[in-house]
Amino acid sequence: MRTVACIVQDGFAPFEFGVACEAFGLDRSDDGIPNFDFRVVTPEPGAVQSKMGFSINVDADLAFAYEADLVVVSPIPHEYWGRIDERVLDVIRHAVARDAWVLSVCSGSFVLAASGVLDGRRATTHWMYAQKMMTMYPQIDVDPDVLYVQDGRIITSAGTAAGLDACLHLLRQELGAELTNKIARRMVVPPQRDGGQAQFIDKPLPVTTSLSLAPVTDWMLDNLRLDLTVDQLATKAHMSPRTFARRFKADYGATPAAWLARQRIIHAQRLLESTDLGLDRVAYESGFGSAAVLRQNFARVLGTTPTAYRARFSCGPDELCDITDADVSGQEQVLETVA
């Protein structure tokens, strides 16, 4: 991914627009992170009015978006949903047809929905608008309870901060875990919130709750190679297994098992990027036990193999890897046979 076009239209939301600028538009080359050719585009160049009453001047029309590797769609107010510029919809259809990345933040998913590219796909939006999307577009499988959804190369996210999570999720696929973690540190945000986490918690818990589980999660991260059970973790938290599981889901938006599985994937990504350990050793260190189980989890979560991931992301900080899964498929087949 080299080029990013962010589409803005009248009524755009400033924060969500800023999310795209922050994720893809800043120069982070001093951290060894490759820069993107990031451009803001609009159907009619000139002043584009935000929903907050101020405007920005956009010089570029949509031409760049027709060639961009990623097209980001900023949200617009509900009163605009029924009259989205057909030129924007055409850009989105064209991007999907040529297998470019397409990412919407918050209610920007309604723009994608109007283009038809979400038909038959799973998607999300801000929980406040989920029922409206279900009604307007019954052909879309709307999940109102998650932070973001990736279906193919289309990513839709929930409101506000979930847009950052979706952007980091995409960057992790393009740049790898280590460089994306550097970006997250620069943003001062958590390096990973899984898309399956809940958008909100119905009943807020006392402030001390998260602090009470922090030592347990820290211990889990230090002991990923162990076979960790809910009973064992509940004992460390001085809770019953049922209370621990409920409290963990409320605090972290995921079950202990799901959270642990994701942390193991992240640790395996780091080991593949930064070490030359064999797959069996990577599997052991990250808690998967065997290379076969590691491969299964990579295929399920990342849609690739550990060998392909390493070939793409184990370059030095001054290099930009440009290797696809197909480039290493023969090597992976050899390793599968040896294993």
Amino acid 201: pLDDT: 37
Amino acid 110: pLDDT: 96
Amino acid 66: pLDDT: 97
Query: How confident is residue 194, by pLDDT bands cut at 50, 70 and 90?
Result: low
Amino acid 208: pLDDT: 39
Amino acid 161: pLDDT: 81
pLDDT in tens, 171-185: 988 998 888 888 888
Token match 């998650």: residue? 146
Query: How confident is residue 196, by pLDDT bands cut at 50, 70 and 90?
Result: low
pLDDT in tens, 201-210: 333 333 334 4
Q: Please state, in angstroms and rounded to a whole number, the distance separating the CA atoms of residues 284 and 290.
A: 6
pLDDT in tens, 310-326: 887 775 444 444 434 33
